[in-house]
Amino acid sequence: MTAATQTAILPPRRRQRFADSMRVVLSSRVAVVGLVIVLFWVVVAIGAPVFTKYDPSKDQDYKALDQAPSAQHFLGTDHLGRDVWSRVAYGARTILLLGPLSVAVAFLIGMALGLPAGYYGGWLDEVIMRLLDALMAFPTILLYMIIISALGASPVNVVIAISVGGAPGIARLVRALTLDIRTREYVSAAKLRGDSAARIMAREILPNCRGPLIVDFLLRVGYAAFYIGTLGFLGLGLPPPTPDWGGMVQEGHARMMANPWPVLAATGAIVTLVIGLNLFADGLREETMRYQ
């Protein structure tokens, strides 16, 4: 057999795998609803310049402060005369960039700690897990506040805070999965091939953790959106005038009786995104469980 025939056979397999995973998603109604909501925000974030007429920060219309929704301003304006819809749309960009990014960093840390802890066991496991336990002993929001007040409010620091706060939980999950998978016979078979421990963890164990990890990732992106909002509300999020959902609630909540629109729009955005991610993750989990 030549290499040419090999590559000729490969692509349909990938396509089949993609089709397989799509079937899993589509067979759950809950997951589809979640996916539609999430995709809505993704489209809004990507196409924000197209969907909005105003710049979220610079276009301050002093003649139209605190306005209710109108043809001009789809969701009204805030106390500085900025278009609420623009701020929500651009805010989606922030949250959909920072959320997945911080969770991804958290996953890298968590996997780097959880895999060896579960695979080797013994004192290494003890040391890693006790350190993570110590980190987990802090209430999450308190931990974020400590980190951000120490480092200062900036997008990078928000990512650092959320990844440090999320890593212990991920490490625990990865460790538990590793403990189970390392006893499987294909891991023994890899050892009988002379594979190194690192290779076994990367090639034999990690790929088989992907189901629960994907679900966990989605849930955590939801929580991250929620926490980024909370930090913004506490004034520890992104420095103004960056459009930020949490920041919008914070700016608007004192004047809510006079003008509820900025607050309603921002909270509505957070709520729908988090619910969408949760539904998607739940549906996926249910469907992958049934699949097994």
**Which positions touch other proteins (CB under 8 A)?**
1-3, 5-6, 9, 13, 184-186, 188-189, 191-195, 197, 204, 207-208, 210
Taking the least distance from each CB to other proteins, the nearer of 150 and 207 is 207
Q: In a 10 Å sphere around its CB, with 0-12 CB exposed, 13-18 middle and 19+ buried, how is residue 84 labelled?
A: buried
- Least separation, in Å, of the C-beta of 30 and other proteins? 17
Token pair listed for 207: 């790929």
Taking the least distance from each CB to other proteins, the nearer of 9 and 257 is 9
Taking the least distance from each CB to other proteins, the nearer of 130 and 193 is 193
- Least separation, in Å, of the C-beta of 211 and other proteins? 10
Nearest-angstrom CA–CA distance, 289 and 268: 31
Taking the CA of residue 290 as centre, how many other CA atoms within 13 Å lie in the half-sphere pointing to its CB?
A: 11
Question: Which segments of the chain does DSSP mark as H helices, in order?
Answer: 3-26, 29-46, 48-51, 84-120, 122-136, 140-151, 155-181, 185-191, 197-199, 210-233, 245-253, 261-291
Asked if residues 215 and 284 have their Cβ atoms less than 8 Å apart, the reply is yes
With vertex at residue 73, the alpha carbon angle to CA 87 and CA 260, rounded to the nearest 5 degrees, is 70
Taking the least distance from each CB to other proteins, the nearer of 1 and 257 is 1
- Least separation, in Å, of the C-beta of 191 and other proteins? 6
**Phi then psi for 77, rounded to 5 degrees?**
-130, 165
**Phi then psi for 255, rounded to 5 degrees?**
-105, 20
- Least separation, in Å, of the C-beta of 150 and other proteins? 38
Taking the least distance from each CB to other proteins, the nearer of 2 and 150 is 2
Taking the least distance from each CB to other proteins, the nearer of 211 and 241 is 211
- Least separation, in Å, of the C-beta of 2 and other proteins? 8
- Least separation, in Å, of the C-beta of 185 and other proteins? 4
